[in-house]
Amino acid sequence: MEDNDEQVCRFLTGENFYSQHYFGFHKILRNGLSEYVFRVWAPNAEQVWLVGDFNDWTDSLPMSKLEEWGVWEIYTELPAEGDFYKFKVRQSGGREVFKIDPYAIAFEERPGDAAVIHTIPDKSWKDGLWQGRKKRSDYFKRPMNIYEVHASSWKHKADGTPYTFKSLKKELISYVKEMGYTHIEFMPLMEHPLGMSWGYQLIGYFALSSYYGTPEEFQQFVEECHLNNIGVLVDWVPGHFCINDDTLPYYDGTPQFEYEDPDRAKNVRWGSLNFDLGKPQVQSFLISSALFWLDFYHLDGIRVDAVSNMLYRDYDEGAWLPNHEGGNRNFEGYYFLQKLNAVIKLAHPKAIMIAEESSSETKITGLIETGALGFDYKWNMGWMNDTLRFYEMDPVFRKDHFNLLTFSFMYMMDESFILPLSHDEVVHGKKSLMHKMWGDRYKQFAQLRNLYVYMMAHPGKKLLFMGSEWGQFLEWKYDEGLEWRDLQDDMNSKMQHFTRVLNALYKEQGALWEQDNSYDTIEIIDADNSQETVLSLIRKGKKKKDFLIIVLNMTPVERQDFQIGVPYEGVYEEILNTEMKEFGGTWKNGNPPAVAEPETFKQFGYRIKTIVPALGAVILKPKEIVVPKKRR
């Protein structure tokens, strides 16, 4: 264990990635007595006091400044477990303000924001089997189907109060397991003062929001997920922070966590402040936060929010100045993100690092040595925008915009992608996924099923926001539970059943994920049939005989005797048809097995015929095929 001078020195140089072991509060033994030490970085403050329940929030506990380091500290026996506390800071210039502890591990329930003295006991984890499998596996070659969750609005109790992780452990895990998802991704769980921000305006970078329960309860939740073979990912926001005066902004009265340039510091779009990502102390603080969540909660990965805001000086709506090269690159953000990923991968090689990023100017995934940022995955926002625009369109016009559905095949391997149908697409008047679909209710459900097959057929990992699995019609509301009563309706119930079946098929069929990041995973059968607006393609596993044929009909016209090119002679069996009655369609029986005929179709030497339902999709799998042996 490093001594205090080494720890603070490394913090100041941007190399202390476990700085929470030095800052914040710590219970210690000193001179045989049990007491607490509190430390806070505030280099330009004139004076700092520790205030709380234990001294009636008075100035009786002045802290001492370690001048060389800009750190204030105090040793005291007064606090007790459960007490609230803050720091009173006389800022540069003489203004006095109560400030939170940036390293607090727990806060009081909002709207209060005092930190809580809460000693969390060391946990004896029982997820060793999960961790061992994770070390031995390659997640790029494994299925990843993510269920995105806002923790406090997944389900509410009868009295309208949200579930905490104690209740979510009982219900959410079993639900996710039953539905066949591989991972849960939570929107930010860190402390935030306003629920309306959905957790993206943080104040506590080391604290689980008290709104969701206790740290111990979340540890138990993650452990139970792992015991049920479910991974856990959490959103994290290192680019900007809450502007509330009693939190991080201008902590010591000068630009401390934020940029000195007020235009760079102010985030106009989100009404927040941007971290100065080039400042070494800020790098220590943020990377320590990320590692803390991975270490302390055994998370399987982190989704970094708003990466574009960290990469480009002109991303925001306010004034901006070019960099020293005359461009819009935010070099501080660029190098911080590379450093973040390098440090995390050194400590946790199997941690999944995901970027929410919408531009194409910077390589996001891949090796840092090649100039990439080092993320494992990038949300494919282009695919999402084009796809939803297409499905919202009247089918009459789809033939003229078929490229919206096929353009992503041109760049699908440029990055390692996740295909997101996320919370951002079902709020602010955008309508739910179900409500976006064209036509009457029956047609909307048919197209939703079609959309989900298209997502599964397209290379890339998958993400679906909660409630979308059964076609909730109303937009998501952050302060209400999902519309679970929808499932009393036969169509919603059958939609949920369809999603469950599709998720199971995805996990069972290696062709849908074994070669996800290689062009070998896909062969387009026909992406030119814009007149009939039918897309057909093959997804391939590692073995020649392991492949699936997916056909998607984007019009309300049933395609009789539809011809599909196939690579080998033999029999092809339908394994999914979105129009079956059990899913909410009208078909009692699916298509019979199709026998390949020796007729050319584009690059293929054989073709089969089948019926493709109106606004429907079918998936076929070879049953008895003949693969020619290679000539020597």
CA-closest candidate to residue 191, choices 257, 274, 255, 247: 247
User: What is the C-alpha separation between 29 and 464, in angstroms, rounded?
Assistant: 49
Amino acid at 195: G
Q: Judge if the upstream peptide bond of residue 111 is cis by omega within 30 degrees of 0.
A: yes
CA-closest candidate to residue 596, choices 559, 626, 552, 576: 626
CA-closest candidate to residue 121, choices 216, 23, 207, 19: 216
Active site amino acids: 305, 356
| Residue entry with tokens 């009636």 | 56
Handedness of CA 548, 554, 560, 562 (dihedral sign): negative
User: What is the C-alpha separation between 384 and 430, in angstroms, rounded?
Assistant: 13
- For residue 85 the two structure tokens come to 């506390």
The SS3 of residue 130 is helix
User: What is the C-alpha separation between 451 and 304, in angstroms, rounded?
Assistant: 26
Residue 432 per-residue DSSP state: -
- For residue 282 the two structure tokens come to 């800020």
24-30 and 272-274 as β-strands: parallel, antiparallel, unpaired? unpaired
33-41 and 24-30 as β-strands: parallel, antiparallel, unpaired? antiparallel
255 phi and psi angles, rounded to 5 deg: -60, 105
Q: Which residues pair with 547 in a beta bridge?
A: 540
Specify the DSSP element, H or E, that contains 403.
Answer: helix 403-406
HEC readout, 235-255 = EECCCEECCCCCCCCCCCCCC
User: What is the C-alpha separation between 160 and 157, in angstroms, rounded?
Assistant: 5
Q: Which residues contact 313 (CB under 8 A, 6 or more apart)?
A: 264, 320, 321, 322, 323, 328, 329, 330
Q: Which CA distances in Å does 282 have to 271, 310, 493?
A: 20, 14, 49
The pairs formed by 421-425 with CB atoms below 8 angstroms and a separation of 24 or more are 421/384, 421/388, 421/455, 421/463, 421/464, 421/465, 421/468, 422/148, 422/379, 422/384, 422/463, 422/465, 423/148, 423/150, 423/187, 423/198, 423/465, 423/476, 425/384, 425/388, 425/465
- Please say whether the beta carbons of 552 and 457 come within 8 A: yes
Sheet with strand 240-241: strands edge to edge:
240-241, 272-274, 266-267
Q: Which residues contact 149 (CB under 8 A, 6 or more apart)?
A: 172, 184, 185, 186, 187, 466
